């Protein structure tokens, strides 16, 4: 399942991600992974979550981000949850590419039984209407 947490800057998306990731760690029987741009979440997330800095890995664009996420799933069979903060900052602000990306992520989520949450800094009306994900607006 892919979920998009959407909202304008300052709407509380990152705070919600931190809460959900920390809660997932407590209930998960596997691993929880958080991908962020930079290292601003280091002290907010429990040390039990795997934190990946996309800048450190030189991840840029939807293809590179998909490669990272699919590699995470392929290399560790027990990843139950993946959270991506600042998706547009990492991959770019293109609605059609986001739609394609979400379709590919739906395959990963189903194939590896992994919940994937993307934080999107955008208003709902600025996203493609036929995007195949659960939308949670903040």
One digit per residue, pLDDT tens: the chain, 138 residues?
899 999 998 888 889 999 999 999 999 999 999 999 988 888 888 889 999 999 999 999 999 999 999 999 999 889 999 999 999 999 999 889 999 999 999 999 999 999 999 999 998 888 888 898 888 888
Kindly report whether the global pTM for this prediction surpasses the value 0.85. yes
User: For tokens 């596997």, what's the residue?
Assistant: 30
**Helix (H) and strand (E) counts for the chain?**
4, 6
What's CA 130's distance to the chain center, in Å? 19
Strands in the chain per DSSP E: 2-7, 31-36, 50-53, 79-84, 115-121, 134-137
CATH H-level, domain 2-137: superfamily:
P-loop containing nucleotide triphosphate hydrolases (3.40.50.300)
């Amino acid at each position: 399942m892919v979920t998009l947490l959407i909202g304008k800057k300052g709407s509380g998306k990152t705070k919600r991600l931190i809460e959900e990731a920390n809660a997932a760690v407590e209930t998960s029987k596997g691993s929880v992974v958080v991908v962020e741009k930079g290292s601003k979440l280091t002290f907010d997330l429990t040390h039990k979550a795997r934190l990946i800095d996309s800048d450190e890995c030189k991840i840029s664009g939807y293809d590179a981000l998909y490669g990272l996420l699919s590699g995470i799933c392929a290399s560790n069979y027990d990843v139950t949850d993946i959270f991506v903060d600042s998706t547009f900052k990492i991959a770019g602000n293109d609605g059609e590419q986001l739609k394609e990306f979400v379709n590919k992520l739906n395959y990963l989520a189903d194939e590896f039984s992994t919940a994937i949450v993307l934080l999107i800094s955008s208003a709902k009306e600025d996203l493609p209407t036929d995007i195949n994900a659960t939308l949670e607006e903040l």
